[in-house]
Structure 1
Amino acid sequence: MKKRTYVVAFFFGVTVALLMIFIKLPYYVTMPGTAQDLKPLVHVEHGDDDAGTFMLTTVKMGRANAVSYLLAHVRPFYELYPLEEIKQDGESDEEYTMRQLQMMEQSKEAAIAVAYKKAGKPVSYKTNGIYVMSVLPHMPAHGHLKVGDRIVEIDGKKMATSDEMIKYIRSKKKGDKVHITFVRGKKQKEATLALMPFPHDPKQIGIGISLITDYDIVTNPPVHIDSEQIGGPSAGLMFALEIYNQLVKEDITKGHKIAGTGTINIDGEVGPIGGISQKVVAADREGAEIFFAPNEHGAADSNYREAVKTAKEIGTKMKIVPVDTFDDAIRYLKHMQ
């Protein structure tokens, strides 16, 4: 009888353990990821092999189970996010991953263009159009635009990049109408849409789409970036710095280990990212001496300010440096000892 009780208890315990591991909760859990040397990922033909290191920082993320849900409440720098804050309505895991990889491609293209222009090396690029990456339900574009549509004009104006279109829409106000001309397959279509606030951010208005600019870039010397399966746009700044360092004769790292994060656009402007605290922790663990953080033009809730706060919490000696542009980072490095 006692043996049978032990067997039942054993199988009950195994069942509970499996349920805690394999049943997914409606949350994502994020935690500090890695700080990875960029030299093995960025290959400029005949590029310099420098003594210092630029590092790409990441956040580790996955669907929460009961175990990770509990850990997120007790471990520092573990964060929980409801599904709707990470994935868009109706978006599958595969579609989310594809969206992140597409943003990485756009980030790499911008980083290449910025680095080559700054280094005075030949680079040419043209835009092949602005493509719809996702459409939010309950927003004006829903039912009119689809993923993969190529936007040709807005209010009769041609837009070369997604940044141009976003800036144009942000110059409008709630209730204003915009006329969108787009191509789906081989057919040109049109839609007139009224701007409205985003459900997750009522301060921002739009039509409820995310965009990506498709570039063709030709460089001399050639460059290849092996981003593996890293997704998202947040490595743009660090890719640009590594490419530039391989293009120029001097070692702009001056032998230091330098980490950082931030999106970058074709004009070299650095933008904010998510998970800044977790990336600071990851960089500190890998012994980074300097960390570039998006300054957001001095905003009170900027990535930079959060990074400084985190650095104090973990007691790191790593220097947190605010940047708004690629040139800001280069200026700091040139004056660095």
Structure 2
Amino acid sequence: MSQKKWIRILIVMTILIIGSSFYYLPYYVTKPGSAKDLDPIIEVENGYEDEGKLMLTTVRMGKANIYTYFIASLRKYEHIYPVGEIRRSEETDEEYNVRQLHLMESSKLNAIEVAFQHADKKYSFQYNGVYVLNVYPGMPADEVLEPGDMISAIDGNEFSSSQEFIEYIDTKSIGDTVNITFTRDDEVQEKEVALAEFSASEGKVGLGIGLVDDKEIITTPKVTMNTEKIGGPSAGLMFSLQLYNELVERDITHGMEIAGTGTISSNGTVGRIGGIEQKVIAADKAGAEVFFAPMDLIPDRIKKTNPDLKPNYEEALKTAEEIGTDMKIVPVKTFEDALNYLDSL
């Protein structure tokens, strides 16, 4: 075969390989991410410095193509999930990303509240409006609103909760028009939207959006959290520890490198997260000496449908043994559990 033919074959194969990498399968692939030092991410005004590190841990996730799917099927700590196990039914990629970013914002809010409570510092809440999580296709809002918009008023009326917003809409009838004031990309807009009946709920009138409260916490001292595009709620515990460490004079790290994961509720309860084994690997690669893992109690109703499901702590401990790390895996149920462990050091 001539050299020209070989070159043509190589060019065609290259084009096919590159082209097929952009063809996505109905699966997601997850793999170990990284452990990020929280010092440059969280800043408390005039806060105290620490000698060690508190780190959040991440999981890398992306849509699967034929190559990433094949590689993940061969690697122990890479996992393949059908789209339906990651995204809600009829949820678009954009709506999924918006939901993850909102979960991150809620996580930050809870972490600040927990840290300021335990450090005995002042804080208060300010309600901003209604945050749009998703827009239902075919409903009136579909042509006006987008996931991530923040609605601050309806017909000039401002509300102190999303429940008041819903109650106001409930006073309207099918075909009525309301004037919506909303913010998108820092630009305030006003649009008129007609109300319609939800197909899944007879007699229920609405705009056709999924919504949650949008509020912010006002603190003294001021807090800045630069989470950029990190999504999801799983950094809550580590956020609260970093914030607390900058609010109090004593250094809870004792010069150590400490990683972990877990959601945080406003009362300080640490919740279950996904990808615990991948986060253990990320923390070990970053040189962490301690790893906090949620010691979650799995309800009986979930055990019945998924009997192999283990608490995060048990999964983390198993992974630590498998990879032969010297990192200490510490179970926590609450923020105070983590704080007490660090104080014991």
TM-score, length-scaled by structure 1: 0.77
Aligned match of 1:7: 7
Paired with 2:340 and 2:62, the residues of 1 have a C-alpha distance of: 37
Paired with 1:245 and 1:283, the residues of 2 have a C-alpha distance of: 20
Q: 1:310 aligns with which of 289, 310, 319?
A: 319
Deviates more, 1:315-324 or 1:88-97: 88-97
Aligned match of 1:241: 241
CA contact (8 A) 1:106 1:213 kept: no
Compared CA separation, residues 145 and 181, structure 1 to 2 (3 A): farther
Number of residue-to-residue matches in the alignment: 298
Aligned match of 2:120: 120
Paired with 1:253 and 1:233, the residues of 2 have a C-alpha distance of: 23
Mapping of 1:210-229 within 5 angstroms? 212-229=212-229
1:237 deviation in Å? 0.7
Structure with higher Rg: it is: 2
Compared CA separation, residues 331 and 160, structure 1 to 2 (3 A): farther
User: Is 1:324 aligned to residue 333 of structure 2?
Assistant: yes
CA contact (8 A) 1:106 1:212 kept: no
Identical aligned pairs, as a percentage? 48
Compared CA separation, residues 160 and 321, structure 1 to 2 (3 A): farther
The runs of 5 or more residues in structure 2 that have no matched partner are 152-159, 170-177, 182-192, 202-208, 300-308
Aligned match of 1:87: 87
CA contact (8 A) 2:258 2:289 kept: yes
Compared CA separation, residues 22 and 191, structure 1 to 2 (3 A): closer
Compared CA separation, residues 315 and 87, structure 1 to 2 (3 A): same
User: Is 1:32 aligned to residue 32 of structure 2?
Assistant: yes
The runs of 5 or more residues in structure 1 that have no matched partner are 151-158, 163-179, 196-208
Counterpart of 1:251 in 2: which secondary structure?
coil
Paired with 2:330 and 2:105, the residues of 1 have a C-alpha distance of: 26
Letter in 2 for 1:94: E
Compared CA separation, residues 190 and 25, structure 1 to 2 (3 A): closer
Mapping of 1:13-92 within 5 angstroms? 13-92=13-92
1:297 deviation in Å? 3.4
TM-score, length-scaled by structure 2: 0.75
Paired with 1:239 and 1:210, the residues of 2 have a C-alpha distance of: 27
Compared CA separation, residues 149 and 119, structure 1 to 2 (3 A): closer
Residue deviations 1:47-106, cap 9 Å, x none?
111101100100111111111111101122111111121122333322221211111111
Cα RMSD over matched residues?
3.4
Deviates more, 1:267-276 or 1:12-21: 12-21
Mapping of 1:108-147 within 5 angstroms? 108-126=108-126, 133-134=133-134
Residue deviations 1:133-169, cap 9 Å, x none?
35899xxxx989997899xxxxxxxx9899xxxxxxx
1:110 deviation in Å? 0.9
Paired with 1:126 and 1:229, the residues of 2 have a C-alpha distance of: 23
CA contact (8 A) 2:37 2:54 kept: yes
